[in-house]
Amino acid sequence: MADTLQTDRTRVRRIPNRGAYDRATIHSILDAGFLCHLGFVVEEQPFVIPTLYGRDGDTLYVHGSAASRMQRAIATGVPVCVTVTLVDGLVLARSAFHHSMNYRSVVVLGQALSLTDRDAKLHALRTISEHLIPGRWDDVRPPNEQELMATTVLGIPIVEASAKVRLGAPGDDDADYALPIWAGVVPVRMTAETPVDDDRLLPGVTTPGYATDYNRRFGQ
């Protein structure tokens, strides 16, 4: 396997020193996020849909209703783009022009394969669940045959991809450092709050640790 997932289509053109193509960087960003934006084309119109995902090795998994427009369009093997973006901060420069955002993003280009094998579907669903909230899968009622049939699961090979990362302080024009304007970074991150119990919990059922301790940090 190649060590780089760069192709001409995924090469970062703008500010190329923000680009990275190695598996370790790309996988670490994919593993830190849980929401992707999946792009596909129907009759020349692009659609971009938010959806949960999971990663196992060099495959991304997404799932959806077998009845959905997205799943039906994508399962036919059309080109897709999966983008994951983690926002780390607002970069406030002395000039309007140099304002920016600190972020980590990954773009994966490829084709989605619809999984038909029962065990492969179950494995992918477990992967998505454990990616989102490790430990949950073994606690819940697993999918029955009817639910499996109603669920489309897509696998997208991570073979053509790029990461883009911006870190750190603003970069102002030399002359602008003489201006008495505040500049810096406002860090932002995703935080989890105290879980809210469902109203219909059975007596004695307590909140599991993976829910009370859930605090997937997008920020640092």
Interface with a second copy in residues 154-213 (CB under 8 A) = 169-170, 176-202, 204-208, 211
Residue 26 sits in the site that holds a second copy (CB under 8 A): no
Nearest distance in Å: CB 27, a second copy: 19
Residue 45 sits in the site that holds a second copy (CB under 8 A): yes
Residue 120 sits in the site that holds a second copy (CB under 8 A): no
Q: 116: closest CA among 149, 142, 143, 146?
A: 149
- Distance CA(160)–CA(175), nearest Å, equals 41
Pick one of 65, 76, 77, 134: the residue that binds a second copy (CB under 8 A): 65
- Burial per residue of 185-214, b for 16 or more beta-carbon CB atoms within 10 angstroms, e otherwise: beeeeeeeeeeeeeeeeeeeeeeeeebeeb
Pick one of 97, 116, 117, 118: the residue that binds a second copy (CB under 8 A): 97
Nearest distance in Å: CB 55, a second copy: 17
Q: Which amino acid is at 160?
A: E
Nearest distance in Å: CB 20, a second copy: 16
**Which residues is 152 bridged to in the sheet?**
64
